[in-house]
Amino acid sequence: MKQPSPHPLSPDVLSPVADYFKVLSETSRLQILHCLHEGPMNVMELTEATGFSQANLSKHLKIMTSAMPTLQASFSTMQIYAALT
């Protein structure tokens, strides 16, 4: 029989991990991440690459950046999104 872990993970530790995987459970968000693995893109470039409407894309990016803050960078008035590998 397997022994219990001497250092069980608390819900405080596991909650952000669960949130991260919830973000990745949506196929549209995986499509966005796939596009970003080709290189950084702004919203207009992502709209063209994914075929999503700007409103739909913005909704997904808001959810994604809340769980993955390193996904977004600001340059002047333009937001650039990039997937870190």
pLDDT confidence of residue 79: 77
The pLDDT tens digits of the residues spanning 57-85 come to 999 998 988 888 777 776 656 677 787 65
pLDDT confidence of residue 60: 93
**Residue whose entry in the numeric block shows the structure tokens 């992502």:** 46
- Structural domains in the chain plus CATH codes: 14-81 (1.10.10.10)
pLDDT confidence of residue 26: 94
Q: How far apart are CA 39 and CA 49, in angstroms?
A: 12
The pLDDT tens digits of the residues spanning 20-53 come to 899 889 999 999 999 988 888 999 999 999 999 9
